[in-house]
Amino acid sequence: MQKGRILCVVPIALTLLIALGCGKQPSTAIHPVKLKMFAPLPEGYPAQAAALTEEKINLGRMLYYEPRLSKSQKISCNSCHGLSTYGVDGEPTSNGHKGQKGDRNSPTVYNSAGHFVQFWDGRAANVEEQAKGPVLNPVEMAMPNDRQVITVLKSIPEYVDAFKKAFPEDRDPVTYDNMAKAIGAFERKLVTPARWDKFLKGDQAALTEEEKIGFNTFTTVGCQACHAGALLGGNLYQKLGLVKPYPDASDPGRAKVTKKDADRMLFKVPALRNIEKTGPYFHNGKVAALDQAVAHMAEYQLGKPLSETEVRSIIAFLKSLTGDIPVDYIKEPALPKSTSKTPKPDLTD
Ligand code: HEC
Ligand code: HEC
């Protein structure tokens, strides 16, 4: 590097350091290096193996809203992941078949295709694999087996036709795997760009002063150690109660999948996109308020309790992550009518 440039760079670096570290007032100046850990949302999360055709997405949308994929013919994916309510149902744990409660909170489906794995414990690799779970889960949609699902779908000519169009290369397109692939294709475009994305793309005015201060608080206390990237999470496992044991240790977390003691209380770090709208919080859904969730994180993950002002400041930033729901994309389609061959709803256990 030339001498002249060094002379020039040193004072700039010093000024930045002073601006970052020494000011007593909370700063609205955001250091560009801090932003490097974050990224704007993409327009979707393409599948590596298969193209997201319109036919596949349209079929996926129908299936997402389809209550006949449940034993009672009353519960669809949308019952627990309401698309007009940020992909959640607002319950600590959801009501499944005949009102049965599961033991974990329903996470949002928005942006979930961008997570490195699915579920709180990562037991499904991607949204296509995930979608095979709830339909056969006895406390969720409770279908007895995949054959029964196929019987329902094949009894409805409009579905048979839609599967043919979505999977033109398949000789027998109405399969359980293809059902999950279509739902996954639909989910891959459930994206919610927010003001935070505008800011990251260079629009300084997209965030308020309070939100910029909030971002600095978020990164100064260390939340970004786990909540970074485009989703501010969704890209690693971490122990809940990393620094101080978490009071509710009844759910083994990732250890439920791996059967390894070292994985006890390890959970996927959730994304913080739309977090203002997706309570109650944590895998057990036991924390109703966002300020309490943030305080828990500071106490159990970082070991440094925050002042009320700091919590409020972080929440101001978190609210800038609330994005736009894609209203046209999620519009509930008209579902085809049952025929005389369609099995009847079954309300037994
Ligand atoms: C009865 C409520 C219920 C129904 C119905 C339901 N889910 Fe879920 N969903 C949950 C719960 C609870 C979890 C978390 C379970 C876990 O992590 O062990 C979950 C997890 C997910 C996830 C993972 C999100 C993440 O952040 O890891 C996706 C994606 C998802 N569901 C999509 C669907 C789809 C698609 C359907 C329909 C085929 C569906 N769900 C039906 C309750 C439900
Ligand atoms: C060491 C990693 C780590 C750090 C640091 C961390 N978190 Fe978390 N965060 C997690 C994990 C893991 C979970 C999921 C816990 C669970 O529910 O089992 C979580 C959950 C959350 C939730 C609830 C999300 C939901 O959908 O229910 C919020 C809100 C949150 N974190 C915010 C923060 C904030 C704000 C900070 C900084 C004060 C922070 N986190 C620091 C790992 C971390």
Ligand 1 atom nearest 118 alpha carbon: 27
CB 283 within 8 A of CB 248: no
What CATH fold (topology level) applies to the domain 25-41+193-319? Cytochrome Bc1 Complex; Chain D, domain 2 (1.10.760)
- The CB of 106 under 6 Å from ligand 1? The reply is yes
What is the pLDDT at residue 179? 98
Residue 202 CA, ligand 2 centroid: distance in Å: 27
The SS3 call for residue 118 is: strand
Q: Which of 140, 236, 250 has the most ligand 1 atoms within 8 A of CB, as the residue to mutate?
A: 140
- Tell me the C-alpha distance between 159 and 174, whole Å: 8
What is the pLDDT at residue 27? 83
Q: Which of 81, 181, 189, 281 has the most ligand 1 atoms within 8 A of CB, as the residue to mutate?
A: 81
What is the pLDDT at residue 1? 41
User: Annotated catalytic sites, by residue?
Assistant: 140
- The CB of 77 under 6 Å from ligand 1? The reply is yes
- Tell me the C-alpha distance between 338 and 290, whole Å: 43
Please state which CATH class domain 54-187 belongs to: mainly alpha
Closest C-alpha residue for ligand 2 atom 32: 294
Query: What sign for the dihedral angle of Cα 233, 124, 277, 61?
Result: positive
The SS3 call for residue 267 is: strand
Quote the tokens at residue 320.
């800038």
Closest listed residue to residue 125, CA positions, set 49, 230, 70 = 49
Residue 269 CA, ligand 2 centroid: distance in Å: 6
Residue 194 CA, ligand 1 centroid: distance in Å: 23
Quote the tokens at residue 150.
């196929």
CB 38 within 8 A of CB 194: no
- Tell me the C-alpha distance between 280 and 267, whole Å: 17
Ligand 1 atom nearest 89 alpha carbon: 2
- The CB of 122 under 6 Å from ligand 2? The reply is no
Residue 323: strand pairing partners: 194
Encode the chain (349 residues) as per-residue pLDDT tens digits: 444 454 445 455 445 444 444 445 688 899 999 999 999 999 999 887 678 999 999 999 999 999 999 999 999 999 999 999 999 999 999 999 999 999 999 999 999 999 999 999 999 999 999 999 999 999 999 999 999 999 999 999 999 999 999 999 999 999 999 999 999 999 999 999 999 999 999 999 999 999 999 999 999 999 999 999 999 999 999 999 999 999 999 999 999 999 999 999 999 999 999 999 999 999 999 999 999 999 999 999 999 999 999 999 999 999 999 999 999 999 999 999 999 999 999 999 8
CB-based burial label for 14 (10 Å; 0-12, 13-18, 19+) = exposed
Are 25-41+193-319 and 54-187 equal in CATH topology? yes
Instruction: Express each pLDDT in 51-102 by its tens digit.
Output: 899 999 999 999 999 999 999 999 999 999 999 999 999 999 999 999 999 9
Closest C-alpha residue for ligand 1 atom 12: 106
- The CB of 110 under 6 Å from ligand 1? The reply is no
Instruction: Express each pLDDT in 200-251 by its tens digit.
Output: 999 999 999 999 999 999 999 999 999 999 999 999 999 999 999 999 999 9
- 134-138, long-range: CB < 8 A, 24+ apart: 134/77, 134/80, 135/69, 135/70, 135/179, 137/96, 137/102, 138/97, 138/100
Domain ranges of the chain: 25-41+193-319, 54-187
Amino acid 262 reads A
Q: Give how far Cα 174 sits from Cα of 51, 78, 160, 164, 166, Å.
A: 18, 22, 6, 8, 10
What is the pLDDT at residue 5? 54
Where does the chain show beta strands of DSSP type E? 237-239, 266-268
